Amino acid sequence: MHTLWGGDIVPALKKLKDRGRPVAGCFPLYPPQELLHSMGISPVVLWGLGGGSNKLVLADERVQNFVCAVGRRLSQLVLWDAGKSLDALFAYNACDTLRNLPEVLEAGVAEQGGSISRFFLHVPAISMQRPETKSYFTRNIKQCISELEALVTIPYSTESFLQSASIYNEWRAIGRELDIASGKGNLPFEQLVRFALEAAFLPVEESLAAGKALLGDADGNLAPKNAVPVILSGIMPPPPAFLKVMEEAGLFVCGNDLAPLWRTWARSPKLADAAEFYADFYSNHFPCSTLLPTADRRPAALLELARQRGAKAIVFIGEKFCEYEYFEFPYLEKFFKNQGIAALLLEFGLDDLSNVAQHATRIEAFAETLAQ
Ligand code: SF4
């Protein structure tokens, strides 16, 4: 079974496929969804999988077992039905794990008698403030659009793109409001995570409506008295059972720097044609370890978030084998401790049950220290 935080996602994929639009499985986290949407493609961000079966037989035949769970699980999802759930793969450059994954998966699907189209966008790893870098990126976007036009019948138009970009920007704005509501204790954090992860497998219009409904219901007063407010940071949220352990230990999630949550919806880029929009999107994104040009801004942005939300501590949810996150952890841990904010690093891998059992004692000890 392919799961998303415990829920089966195959029916959601099938529902998307039944809409009659080509479905593109995208990775890593921040693909140009507006562009795909405007050209009649349903983008599915292949992130947040797991919590179910750990049998990754097809993925393990092609991807080494020292690769992160994110890469291994998305590989299994693409390969399990010889690519029948997906019409295309869309990737942009990030870490070494993902570097050749599109080609590996395309070949894996073909070996099983299926076929899948493959698209790639190269995002410069240096600042787009340099004119030559920006014009290189503009050429890449144009090239990408002309390749996509071979897959679909709807050609690119700036008008359609602006409509799609407005919907996604509205979705991001709702995400921000929900996030702030959750940080104030008006919405359970678990519900916020579920909303963010499920959005990847829903048409954006449905996810937007779901977000508005959730916001309408967000009026609880759930922050427990005397709980210690903490920020959660990481590529992936921890499993639901771990959130329970945190709550029982007396910690309250007042904010997050999780890639599919706050990092995704913290900023809505200015509306413009695709090339301008994505130059702004990738350059001025909320800092993420997978977007190299944003790295220098990361400590200050995280500190500001922690201060705005009144956090007393930060818990880093490390993704096992994620080189990007691990390069930054030692520096960030020291940085926060120097600012008087306690920091704890935990590592999560493929096996959710073991992860929770392994970290329960550490989180309880951390909570006791903070309470003192
Ligand atoms: S978790 Fe880290 S190593 Fe894995 S795909 Fe994401 S950025 Fe790459």
Instruction: Give the C-alpha separation, 60 to 75, whole Å.
Output: 9
Instruction: Give the C-alpha separation, 65 to 197, whole Å.
Output: 24
Q: Which 3 state secondary structure label does DSSP give 234?
A: strand
Nearest CA to ligand 1 atom 8: 95
Cα 119 to middle of ligand 1, angstroms: 19
Cα 369 to middle of ligand 1, angstroms: 31
- Token pair recorded at residue 217: 């219901």
Within a domain: 101 = yes
Within a domain: 130 = yes
Determine the atom of ligand 1 nearest the C-alpha atom of 71. 5
Q: Which 3 state secondary structure label does DSSP give 112?
A: coil
Cα 321 to middle of ligand 1, angstroms: 8
Instruction: Give the C-alpha separation, 364 to 349, whole Å.
Output: 20
Determine the atom of ligand 1 nearest the C-alpha atom of 27. 5
Determine the atom of ligand 1 nearest the C-alpha atom of 321. 3
Domain of residue 11: give its range. Answer: 3-154
Nearest CA to ligand 1 atom 2: 322
Three-point CA angle 86, 69, 249, nearest 5°: 125
Within a domain: 54 = yes
Largest CA distance in the chain: 63
Exposure string over 39-70, b if 16+ CB within 10 A, otherwise e: bbbbbbbbbbbbbbeeebebbeebbeeebbbb
Within a domain: 268 = no
CB 48 within 8 A of CB 5: yes
Decide the pairing of beta strands 342-348 and 228-234: unpaired
Number of domains in the chain: 1
DSSP letters for 209-227: HHHHHHHHH-------TTP
Cα 219 to middle of ligand 1, angstroms: 35
Within a domain: 311 = no
Cα 227 to middle of ligand 1, angstroms: 32
Of the candidates 259, 285, 280, the residue with the CA atom closest to the CA atom of residue 270: 280
Within a domain: 35 = yes
Q: Which residues line ligand 1 (CB under 6 A)?
A: 28, 68, 70-71, 94-95, 97-98, 235, 290, 319, 322-324
Cα 91 to middle of ligand 1, angstroms: 13
Cα 324 to middle of ligand 1, angstroms: 7
Within a domain: 150 = yes
Determine the atom of ligand 1 nearest the C-alpha atom of 69. 4
Angle between helices 274-283 and 131-148 (to 10 degrees): 120
Q: Provide, for the chain, the percentages of residues in helix, strand and coil under a 3-state DSSP scheme, each rounded to the nearest 5.
A: 50, 15, 35
Cα 337 to middle of ligand 1, angstroms: 26
CB 114 within 8 A of CB 60: no
CB 138 within 8 A of CB 275: yes
Tell me what pLDDT residue 1 has: 66
CATH code, domain carrying 62: 3.40.50.11890
Instruction: Give the C-alpha separation, 116 to 85, whole Å.
Output: 10
Tell me what pLDDT residue 91 has: 96
Within a domain: 109 = yes
Q: What is the pLDDT along the chain (372 residues), one digit of tens a residue?
A: 677 776 788 888 999 999 999 999 999 999 999 999 999 999 999 987 875 555 788 999 999 989 999 999 999 999 988 888 999 999 999 888 888 999 999 999 999 999 999 999 999 988 888 899 999 999 999 999 999 998 888 999 999 999 999 999 999 999 999 999 999 999 999 999 999 999 999 999 999 999 999 999 888 777 778 899 999 999 999 999 999 999 999 999 999 999 999 999 999 999 999 999 999 999 999 999 999 889 899 999 999 999 999 999 999 999 999 988 888 999 999 999 999 999 999 999 888 778 898 899 999 999 999 988
Pocket test for ligand 1, best of 93, 235, 323, 327 (most atoms within 8 A of CB): 235
